[in-house]
Amino acid sequence: MDQLPLKPVGGTRRIYGVSEINALARDVLESSFYDVWVEGEVSNLRSPGSGHCYFTLKDATSQISAVLFRTQALGLRFRLEDGLKVLVRGRISLYEARGAFQINCQWMEPAGRGSLQLAFEQLKRRLAAEGLFDPSRKRPIPALPQCIAVITSPTGAALRDFLHVLDRRYANVRIVIHPVRVQGDGAAAEIAAAVRRANRLGGVDVIVVCRGGGSLEDLWPFNEELLARAVLESGIPVISAVGHEIDFTICDFVSDLRAATPSAAAEMVVATKEELRERIASLLSRSHQSIRLIHRDLRERSARLGRSRALLSTRGRLDALFQRLDDRREALRGALRRKLLERGRRLARASEVVSPRLLAAHVGARRLRSEALLRRAVPAVRWIASERRDRWAALSSLLDSFSPLAVLDRGYALCLDPRTGALVTDSRRLPEHGRVDVRLRRGRIACDVREVTHAQDDEERT
């Protein structure tokens, strides 16, 4: 392919540097497109630490680089994200370092809808994903609160409507008003601070956040995340009554109860005295009916139990046991009675024995009897002793008369066998030329036997 012939214009050749040509191109672009509106879809969004946002705007067939510097990004009501169709206003420029063609955004809004509406939808979707709108975390409103904290503008019609309805329904409740701004910059922070202050106050049963209707911009403080977090963290149930029937705010979704209007909030937070009377009457009626049902059920169950065989058998055993118990009780009473009578008699006898008067008489009688016995016993003992002594003397004399010593005293001698010491009374038992001992009254004589002569009568007897 042949190279196209390139010739200098006007016969003079002007050579530019890259930076120079980019600078010239940037000047041309910025002077020609200094205020343009471009609609496209956000793609390839990047948000580095500098806070600037870099992305691409594209349509079906083309694309252009775009940058949203930090100052403009902080003013956005909504979050920039891929796929979002936006309408931007800015100037066309050239990033000389890369020679990149881009649009520097000065203003941005969602295409086809307002930025506040988009911010509302984005925040609602994000908080719902976190579970802030979960019905399970919503707390019941006290049936009869004693103290209500109202957070609203002190000069607004919403407060007047709320107090008027409340006074008409139940004027005995205590009201604590927390005045705040309900519109404009900083209003959301004031309302959130008032919610926290009401929690610290003590004694508050329910918090009502209210204001009248208005545009989305007017109601925007009630759509900010910091207020939603304050309502979420409240330890006291919160009623949101912001705007009118069709107005919904983030505060409505986070609160424990949403009222369509401030007047509706007053009707929801307290009941009228007539309603309370009707409710009490209804509760009493239901209680009486429940008691009747319970009583009837117990009566029927008692009747069924009374007819059951097991209960009859048990009752029969109980009757027998009661009868045995009665028998044992009577027997025990009889035994105790007899025991008491016996003890009484023994006590009476003991009382008689230990009576001082009777005891003295008994001792005196015994003493007289002892003295009489002693008087009779002394002569008897003396006689017995004399008689025993005389008898002893007679027996001693008799014993002495039979003693061998008495015979020896009369001059006789005893002949004894020296071998056995036995008395020799028969001459035939003496050996000839033997020995015998002869005992005298005084002394002993050893004698030799020379001749033994046996007596005649002795031989005849032998």
For 340-344, what is the mean pLDDT?
86
Query: What percent of the chain lies above the pLDDT cut of 90?
Result: 27
Q: Which two tokens stand for residue 241?
A: 């009554």
What pLDDT shows up at residue 461? Answer: 45
What pLDDT shows up at residue 351? Answer: 67
The three-state secondary structure class of 199 is helix
Would the pLDDT of 28 be above 80?
Answer: yes
Choose between 255 and 425: higher pLDDT.
Answer: 255
What pLDDT shows up at residue 355? Answer: 63
Q: How far is CA 76 from the centre of its chain?
A: 55
H/E segment holding residue 65? strand 63-68
Q: How far is CA 381 from the centre of its chain?
A: 98
Q: Is 230 left (phi over 0), alpha (psi -120 to 50) or beta?
A: alpha
Q: E-assigned strands of 221-286?
A: 238-242, 257-258
What pLDDT shows up at residue 334? Answer: 86
Average pLDDT, the chain: 85
Which residue(s) pair with 55 in the sheet?
Answer: 66
Please name the residues in contact with 21: beta carbons below 8 A apart, sequence gap of 6 or more: none
What pLDDT shows up at residue 140? Answer: 92
pLDDT single digits (tens) 377-433: 888 888 888 888 888 888 888 887 777 777 788 888 888 888 888 888 888 777 777
Q: DSSP character for 431?
A: P
Would the pLDDT of 462 be above 50?
Answer: no
Q: Interior CA angle at 435 toward 432 and 438, to 5°?
A: 125
What pLDDT shows up at residue 282? Answer: 87
Q: How far is CA 403 from the centre of its chain?
A: 115
The three-state secondary structure class of 176 is strand
CA 153, 158, 164, 165 dihedral sign is negative
Q: Interior CA angle at 384 toward 380 and 386, to 5°?
A: 120
Report how far residue 93's alpha carbon sits from residue 22's, in angstroms, rounded to the nearest whole number.
10
What pLDDT shows up at residue 214? Answer: 82
Crossing angle of helices 225-233 and 115-130, in 10° steps, is 30
For 168-174, what is the mean pLDDT?
82
The three-state secondary structure class of 332 is helix
What pLDDT shows up at residue 311? Answer: 67
pLDDT single digits (tens) 184-196: 889 999 999 999 9
Which residue(s) pair with 304 in the sheet?
Answer: none
What pLDDT shows up at residue 361? Answer: 81
Would the pLDDT of 153 be above 90?
Answer: yes
Q: How far is CA 94 from the centre of its chain?
A: 74
Report how far residue 108's alpha carbon sits from residue 78's, in angstroms, rounded to the nearest whole number.
10
Report how far residue 187's alpha carbon sits from residue 166's, in angstroms, rounded to the nearest whole number.
26
Question: What single string gives the DSSP state of each residue in 163-218?
Answer: HHHHHHH-TTSEEEEEE---SSTTHHHHHHHHHHHHHHHSS--EEEEEE----TTT
pLDDT single digits (tens) 93-147: 998 888 888 999 998 888 876 777 888 888 999 999 999 999 999 999 988 889 9
Please name the residues in contact with 195: beta carbons below 8 A apart, sequence gap of 6 or more: 151, 207, 209, 227, 230, 231, 234, 238
pLDDT single digits (tens) 258-301: 998 999 999 888 877 777 788 888 888 888 888 888 888 888 88
Q: Is 417 exposed, middle or buried (0-12, 13-18, 19+ CB in 10 A)?
A: middle
Q: DSSP character for 149?
A: E
What pLDDT shows up at residue 138? Answer: 92
**pTM score, whole prediction:** 0.50
Q: Which two tokens stand for residue 258?
A: 């949403």
Query: What percent of the chain lies above the pLDDT cut of 70?
Result: 92
What pLDDT shows up at residue 65? Answer: 92
Would the pLDDT of 10 be above 70?
Answer: no
Q: E-assigned strands of 163-220?
A: 174-179, 206-211
Would the pLDDT of 302 be above 90?
Answer: no
Going by pLDDT thresholds of 50, 70 and 90, the confidence category of residue 55 is very high
Residue type, 373: L
What pLDDT shows up at residue 1? Answer: 43
Report how far residue 153's alpha carbon sits from residue 163's, in angstroms, rounded to the nearest whole number.
13
Report how far residue 313's alpha carbon sits from residue 329's, in angstroms, rounded to the nearest whole number.
24
CB 219 within 8 A of CB 249: yes
Question: What single string gives the DSSP state of each residue in 346-363?
Answer: HHHHHHHHT-HHHHHHHH
Q: Could you tell me how many residues make up the chain?
A: 462
Would the pLDDT of 5 be above 60?
Answer: no
H/E segment holding residue 111? none
Report how far residue 1's alpha carbon sits from residue 308's, in angstroms, rounded to the nearest whole number.
117
For 36-40, what is the mean pLDDT?
91
Q: Which two tokens stand for residue 456?
A: 């005649």
pLDDT single digits (tens) 196-252: 999 998 899 999 999 988 888 888 999 999 999 999 999 999 999 998 877 789 999
